[in-house]
Amino acid sequence: LLAEDQAWMESSSDSDQEINANMVFMAQIEKVLSDSEASSLSADEKISE
């Protein structure tokens, strides 16, 4: 039990770094999604022309 508590304490100290990494990851995904939406919109405009 002590070993598990210590491992949890060590992992919880890393949680901030994991949260930051997740936020960066989500930001990258949102940027890719917005870029792909913009490119698909321009593609639709070209098709309508």
Residue 49 CA to residue 16 CA, distance in Å, equals 49
Q: Which two tokens stand for residue 45?
A: 């405009």
pTM score > 0.85 for this model? no
Q: Which two tokens stand for residue 5?
A: 């508590």
Q: What is the pLDDT of residues 1-49, one digit of tens each?
A: 677 887 766 766 667 888 888 899 999 999 999 988 878 777 677 667 6
Cα angle 30, 31, 32; round to 5: 90
Residue 22 CA to residue 42 CA, distance in Å, equals 30
Amino acid at 9: M
